[in-house]
Amino acid sequence: MNNAQSAAAFEFEGVTKIFGSVTANSDVSFSVESGTIHGVVGENGAGKSTIMKILYGMYHPDGGTILVQGKPVRFKSSHDAISLGIGMVHQHFMLVPTLTVWQNVVLGMEPKKWNLNRNNSITELNNIKCQFGFQVDLHARISDLTVGQQQQVEILKLLYRKAEILILDEPTAVLTPQEVDVLLERLKNLRDLGKTVVFISHKLREILSFTENVTIMRHGKVVETLPTSGLTESSLAEKMVGRKLRALPVRKPVDTARSPRLSIDNLCVEKDGQAKLSNVSFDVRPGEIIGIAGVDGNGQHELVQVLMNVARDYEGKVLLDGKPLRECRTYELKQKGLAVVPPDRLKEAVVTDFCIRENYILGHHWEKEFVSHGTFQMPKIQAAVKSALETFDVRPREPEWPMSGLSGGNQQKVVLAREFARPVELLVAAQPTRGVDIGAIEFIHARFIQKRDEGASIVLVSTELEEILQLSDRILVLYEGKIQGQCLRKDATEEKLGLWMTGGQQ
Amino acid sequence: MTAKTRRIAETKSAVGGCIFALLLGTFILAVSGENPTLLFEALSNSIFTGFGLGYTLFYATPLIFTGLSVAVCFRCGLFNIGAEGQLYMGALGILLVSLLLPNAPAIAAIPLGILSAALLGGLWGAIAGVLKAKRGSHEVIVTILLNFVALYIVNYLILYPLDDPTTQKPESLPLGAGYAMPLLSEIGLTVFDTTPVNTSLFVAIATALVIRFLLKSTPFGFEMRSVGYSSSASRIAGISVGRQTILAFVISGILAGMVGLNDVQGYHHKIIEGFSPQYGFTGIAVALLARNNPVGILFAALLFGTLHNGARDLEFLSDKVTKELAYVIQAVLIAAVAAPRFGETLFGWLRRGGKKPA
């Protein structure tokens, strides 16, 4: 396959894709060299995923040409793309959780016989595993694997289908820092063995650290394709956003004399006989951001569930303004100024089948400003939604637009617009910028600081150390359900937090 | 895709399904050696003659109620297969209140009948709701089983303690005279003379509009739809998922129970054993075809009423078409109409000018 050095593995020439009234890609042209790792960066909604789905045969272009190994191609479906050696790992994995690893890999490629030739495919898979250095048990059930391992299975699937070009859509968004390192090593290995890797991301550090070339996209168009060497994080970010990034505003100092608004005392949560949280105690004052750091799965989920007032089965005290949280109805808490940004946006924060307007009132749908005589006041709701979309710069600014049709960043902005529409006393935010692009992250962070300065108490749970270090006034690290360490932000270093996150002591 | 374009696409697919159903129906007639145009004759009789339309509307009325019953649960993410049982319990409610107060004048008796039908239907629905919300029992299994329980409770009551001793037929004591819903022919619509269509049709239409308002314009309906789409997001938004589950089943039970207005209060004036030709199950198809839209259900019920009546008519018009074959054709029509993909395929094919997809 890889006969000519630096030959193009594939090439886009003026590719355009239109969805209804939205132009997702317009006149996209760039080429990717064989045997390289090629980054594609851009904000959410910039058209990165769309152009790659066109290459993978999932969408048909409305104009332009695609060349694979120098020959123009037209794909009817992704089957055609697969047969030309193109494979894609999607943001959301396409695995059957109840089947085993090898069953998932073989699924859709079963030999056309009455019985699956199980041993042959297993031998072949073992060869692939050895060749590319994968470590995953072929007979393990998918539901028993970690997210990182599931991703390995997705890549194995591509290799089993003899893919030469591997497209990965935001592969690191769901991984822990350690898993990211493993993945990046593995991709470098694949490149060294002659595969071409296309890596879609908006995490600039990853792009800079291991891609050869990078294509920057904005508003459906290609801004530039250039070699990665010589680029810096800030130069790349500016090209991507199209302007200089603003620094976070200077904040007021925390008023340590004020009594805490939220106080947690010896909180213990048990699930199926396992301690998920043990003796967690901390206070949050008004105008203070407490950052909860830690590797995913160390009790953050349970803590957030308690603070969102969804889990009420726990020991210890959780007091909001001196009143036990679980004795309050969630609805009343929301009226009093509880705002939540749940970690799983699609499952917990929004109803994807609702339109923007309906999502904007969700949780506040009994509020007097929206309802009179038991009936929704549509004109008032419409006006409120329109002005919120304006303030939070949500695109499109169309209250009736289905939530599922928004990019992740815009969905998160709708969530914030809803939660910040009223005075905020306590904000519980978990992974508020997961899967969100730089422009939106900047926006969300600025809003958090603004609310803090207005006197909100904020509990920020995040696995992104950078985010924790940027926003928090005080940092706690959760490890195996306990607070492993805590410090003020000015005393925190990545090394110190990293040590606590892995269970080390000072 | 916005809500509007989606609605257009859904309407197209429903219309396409109807066309496909008619083609299939004529094909079956042709195969059975009958003149295929007879199907069109039977169907047009069911709509364009006063007599036929009267019967069509009479069959459509209960389907509006059961269609709404299924749709309300669907909107809350629940599958109510129990409308058949709930409608029998509603009918029982009417009978019981009439036996209790046999001499109530019409002005009191008709609302009493409606309320007791709603009460018993709603209580029967509540069983499934409570079991789902409190014990996690699957509503499909519970409602299927409750159908049998309801049917046989009603059968036992009308065949033994409440049996009409003056006749050999399997039917209950008659209702008090005041409980009869007036026939449309009695309120001046002479075009419907000798047909059983009655004023419960208006109740059904009004109910559909009320349900539409409830789902669309009230916070209560909003919560119900929210739970239907995402119970996890609803819970975090402070909505009680269990309460909505129970209420959805209560409302569904009330709606199904109101079938008795048409068949018991409106026509037979007593409960006849097995009076429902599976209205509860056809209601599932009605709700599916209408995509759970209350106003759409009015039209879907009219369509299914036409099919039901047309199939019966076919049997009279032809000596080759037996009752069984008529039901086969009806079932095929329902299946084709309810399968949305036929419509999409058909319109796609027409748009491309009869060519295969590219």
Asked if A325 has any chain B CB less than 8 Å from its own CB, the reply is no
In a domain, A2, yes or no: no
pLDDT at B358: 40
What residues does A490 pair with on adjacent strands? none
Q: How confident is the model at residue A118 (pLDDT cuts 50, 70, 90)?
A: confident
CB contacts of B222 in chain A (<8 Å) are 358, 361, 365, 376
Task: List Cα–Cα distances, A114 to A99, A103, A105, A110, A121, in angstroms.
Answer: 19, 16, 18, 10, 15
- Give the whole-angstrom CA distance, residue A289 versus residue A303: 16
> Chain B residues with CB inside 8 Å of A347's CB?
230, 232-233
Residue B357 has pLDDT above 50, yes or no: no
Which residue is listed with tokens 């070009």?
A165
Q: What is the pLDDT of residue B3?
A: 63
B346/B7 Cα distance (integer angstroms): 17
Burial of A220 (0-12, 13-18, 19+ CB in 10 A): buried
Mean of per-residue pLDDT scores for chain A: 89
Residues A225 and A272 in one domain: no
Q: Which two tokens stand for residue B354?
A: 């009869």
Structural tokens at position A38 = 């090629």
Is it the case that residue A93 has pLDDT exceeding 70?
A: yes
The CATH number given to whatever domain includes residue A383 is 3.40.50.300
Is A194 part of any domain? yes
Same domain, A197 and A346: no
Say which of B218, B229, B239 has its CB closest to residue A354: B229
State what percent of residues in chain B have pLDDT above 70. 92
Residues 6+ apart with CB under 8 A from B142: B82, B127, B128, B131, B132
Mutation test of the interface with chain B: which of A76, A306, A310, A351, choosing the one with the most B Cβ atoms within 10 A?
A351
Nearest C-alpha in B relative to A375: B218
* CB-based contact B144:B82 (threshold 8 Å): yes
CB contact under 8 A, A355 and B3: yes
Tell me the three state secondary structure of residue A233. Answer: helix
Any B CB within 8 A of A452 CB: no
Q: Is B190 on the interface with A (CB under 8 A)?
A: no
Q: Which tokens sit at A210?
A: 């291991």
Partner residue opposite B238 with nearest CB, options A20, A330, A344: A330
Band (pLDDT 50/70/90 cuts) for residue A206 is confident
Residue A503 pLDDT > 90: no
Residue B295 φ/ψ region, left for φ over 0, alpha for ψ in the -120 to 50 degree band, beta for the rest? alpha
Of B236, B239, B291, which to mutate for an interface test with A (greatest number of A Cβ within 10 Å)? B236
Same domain, A216 and A282: no
How far does the CA of residue B8 sit from the closest CA of chain A (Å)?
Answer: 15
Boundary-marking domain end, from A206, A241, A276: A241
Q: Which of B219, B222, B238 sits opposite A334 (nearest CB)?
A: B238
pLDDT value of position A5 = 46
Task: Say whether pLDDT at A483 is over 60.
Answer: yes
Cβ atoms of A361 and A419 within 8 Å: the answer is: no
| B219·A366 Cβ contact <8 A | yes
Nearest to A348 among B219, B222, B236 (CB): B236
User: pLDDT digits over A50-79, tens only?
Assistant: 899 999 999 999 999 999 998 999 998 888
Report the 10 Å Cβ neighbour count for A438.
22
Q: What is the ipTM of this complex?
A: 0.85
pLDDT at B246 > cutoff 80: yes
SS3 A372: strand
Contacts of B236 in chain A (CB under 8 A): 308, 310, 330, 340, 342, 348-349, 363
Is residue A74 within 8 angstroms of chain B, CB to CB? Answer: no
Instruction: Write down which residue in A210, A241, A272 finishes a domain.
Output: A241
DSSP-derived 3-state class of residue B138: coil
Based on the domain organization, do A168 and A274 belong to the same domain? no
User: Shortest CB distance from B217 goes to which of A349, A361, A376?
Assistant: A376
Residue A140 placed within a domain = yes
Number of domains comprising chain A: 2
Neighbours of A283 (CB within 10 A): 16
Tell me which residue in A334, A342, A400 faces B3 most closely, judged by beta carbons.
Answer: A400
d(CA B144, CA B70) in angstroms, rounded, equals 13
Helical residues (DSSP H) of A362-437, grouped into ranges: 378-391, 408-419
Same domain for A236 and A269, yes or no, is no
A240-274: pLDDT as tens digits: 888 777 776 678 888 888 899 999 999 999 988 88
CA distance A432 to A462: 8
Counted across chains A and B, CB pairs separated by less than 8 A come out at 73
pLDDT in tens, B258-302: 999 999 999 999 999 999 999 999 999 899 888 899 999 999 999
* A252 located within any domain: no
Rounded to a whole number of angstroms, the distance from the CA of A350 to the nearest CA of chain B is 6
Q: How far is B237 from chain A (nearest CA, A)?
A: 4
Residue A212 covered by a domain: yes
Q: Are residues A128 and A59 in the same domain?
A: yes
Note the pLDDT tens digit of each residue in A384-441: 999 999 999 898 889 999 998 888 889 999 999 999 999 999 999 999 988 777 788 8
B58 or B35, greater pLDDT? B58
B180-237 residue pLDDT tens: 999 999 999 999 999 999 999 999 999 999 999 999 999 999 999 999 999 999 999 9
Q: Compute CA A139 distance to the chain's CA centroid, rounded to the nearest angstrom.
A: 29
- Chain B residues whose beta carbon lies within 8 Å of the beta carbon of residue A329: 238
Interchain CB distance below 8 Å, A374 and B233: no
Quick check: B270 and B91 in contact, CB under 8 A? no
| pLDDT score of A4 more than 50 | no
The pLDDT, as a whole number, for residue A106 is: 85
Q: State whether A236 and A267 are in the same domain.
A: no
Least confident of A2-11, A287-296, A347-356, A368-377: A2-11
Helix (H) or strand (E) holding B88: helix B83-100
Tens of pLDDT along A427-480? Answer: 999 999 887 777 888 899 999 999 999 999 999 999 888 899 899 999 999 999
From A472, A445, A447, select the one nearest A460 (Cα to Cα).
A472
Region of poorest pLDDT, from A5-9, A182-186, A197-201, B157-161: A5-9
Q: What is the pLDDT of residue B62?
A: 98
Would you call B232 and A350 a contact, using CB atoms and an 8 Å cutoff?
no
* Angle between helices B294-317 and B323-338 in degrees, nearest 10: 150
Q: Would you call A350 an interface residue with chain B, using a CB distance cutoff of 8 Å?
A: yes
Please check whether residue A250 lies inside any domain of the structure: no
Q: Are A470 and A462 in contact (CB under 8 A)?
A: no
A199 strand-pairing partners: A39, A168
Q: Residue A310: closest CA among chain B residues belongs to which residue?
A: B236
What is the rounded average pLDDT of the residues B226-254? Answer: 96
Whether A81 is in a domain gets the answer yes
Residue A374 and residue B238: Cβ atoms within 8 Å?
no
Task: State whether A190 and A307 are in the same domain.
Answer: no
pTM for this predicted structure? 0.79
Residue of B230, B235, B291 best to disrupt the A interface, most CBs of A under 10 A = B230
Summarised one tens digit per residue, pLDDT across range A325-364 is 999 999 999 989 999 999 989 999 999 999 999 999 999 9
**CB pair distance less than 8 Å for B236 and A342:** yes
A331 has a chain B CB within 8 A of its CB: yes
DSSP label at residue B198: B
Question: What pLDDT is attached to residue A111?
Answer: 62
Same domain, A267 and A224: no
Tell me, yes or no, if A102 comes closer than 8 A to chain B by beta carbon: no
A144 and A111 part of one domain: yes
Nearest alpha-carbon partner for B304 in B29, B17, B10, B72? B17
Query: A338 touching B, CB under 8 A?
Result: no
Kindly state the greatest CA–CA separation across chain B: 71
Ranked by mean pLDDT, the top range of A169-178, B130-139, B341-350 is B130-139
Q: Are A232 and A288 in the same domain? A: no
B234 at interface of A, judged by CB pairs closer than 8 A = yes
Give the model's pLDDT for residue B314. Answer: 85
Dihedral, A377, A379, A384, A385 alpha carbons, nearest 10: 100
What is the percentage of chain B residues whose pLDDT exceeds 90? 70
Element (H, E) at B233: helix B231-236
Inter-chain touch B229–A352, beta carbons under 8 Å: yes
Is residue A452 within 8 Å of A287, Cβ to Cβ? yes
Q: Which H or E run contains B141? A: helix B139-159
Check B2 against A401: CB less than 8 A apart. Answer: yes
Give the per-residue pLDDT at A309. 94
Residue B277 to residue B16: CA distance in whole angstroms: 27
The domain containing residue A408 runs over which residues?
Answer: 263-501
Report CB contact under 8 Å: B233, A362: yes
Domain boundary among the residues A241, A274, A292 is at A241
Q: Is residue A125 part of a domain?
A: yes
A319 and A183 in a single domain? The answer is: no
State the amino acid at position A422 in one-letter form.
Answer: R
Neighbours of B357 (CB within 10 A): 8
